[in-house]
């Protein structure tokens, strides 16, 4: 069925391939204006520097958002070793560069074992989590330090797909609430050289795959006459 023929008020589940540098709310806002519907929301934030699958629900299907948020997630991406950043990705400047010439592929692949199963991780300071009523990223931007308690998450699969030092490509399957930026940080710490997330793409949420997602341009093309 064509996009323009869907009954958005009755409720739809829309799969969108989020573009680089767009926030998840940018996508929601764009579709809200294009479709002209007030009741629309996303089922799980993607950072601006991440791309990939974003599930949006409209109308009565917004009641299912929490269900979709709880689904298993799959990501692919790149960790750059030997450099850290305050945000653990490329949103902030690189710092603390370290020599990594002693690292081997065997060392990198062996480090994966410490991240499988149920693990504790500390969310990034540059995240939307609220502590004492304030979102962490707002405190971080003001230079404030806030104590963040570790959370239990589950890493079902962690595969190294390519190594081209300092870059390490990976695929991760994980539970709700997992911060891949925190994994990048902790992975670098485990190898004692530091690291940050330099690329991230969400490829799956539950049974929904990014290969089946639409581009923002598809919605623009479908509704441009009604804008």
Six-digit token string for 222:
């479908």
Helix axes 216-223, 24-35, angle to 10 degrees: 20
Q: Which residue, 77, 81, 87, is CA-closest to 20?
A: 77
Beta strand pairing status for 195-205 and 50-58? parallel
Radius of gyration of the chain, Cα coordinates, nearest whole angstrom: 19
Q: Which residue, 93, 82, 89, is CA-closest to 198?
A: 89
Verify whether residue 99 is a known catalytic residue: no
| Catalytic annotation, pick one of 5, 26, 47, 164 | 47
List residues with catalytic annotation: 47
């Amino acid at each position: 069925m064509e996009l323009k023929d869907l009954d958005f008020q009755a409720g739809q589940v829309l799969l969108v391939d989020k573009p680089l540098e767009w926030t998840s709310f940018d996508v929601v806002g764009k579709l809200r204006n294009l479709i002209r519907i007030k009741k629309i929301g996303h089922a799980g934030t993607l950072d601006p520097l991440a791309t990939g699958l974003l599930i949006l629900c409209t109308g009565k299907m917004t009641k299912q958002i929490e269900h979709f948020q709880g689904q298993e997630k799959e990501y692919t991406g790149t960790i750059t070793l030997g450099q850290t950043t305050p945000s653990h990705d490329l949103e902030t400047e690189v710092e603390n560069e370290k020599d990594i010439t002693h690292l081997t592929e065997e060392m990198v692949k062996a480090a994966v074992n410490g991240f499988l199963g149920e693990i504790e991780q500390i969310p990034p300071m540059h995240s939307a989590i609220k502590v004492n009523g304030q979102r962490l990223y707002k405190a971080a931007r003001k230079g404030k330090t806030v104590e963040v308690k570790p959370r239990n998450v589950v890493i079902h699969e962690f595969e190294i797909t390519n190594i081209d030092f300092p870059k390490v490509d990976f695929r991760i399957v994980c539970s709700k609430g997992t911060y891949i930026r925190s994994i990048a940080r902790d992975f670098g710490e485990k190898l004692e050289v530091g690291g940050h997330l330099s690329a991230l793409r969400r490829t799956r949420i539950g049974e929904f795959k990014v290969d089946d997602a639409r581009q923002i341009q598809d919605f623009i093309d479908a509704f441009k006459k009604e804008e």
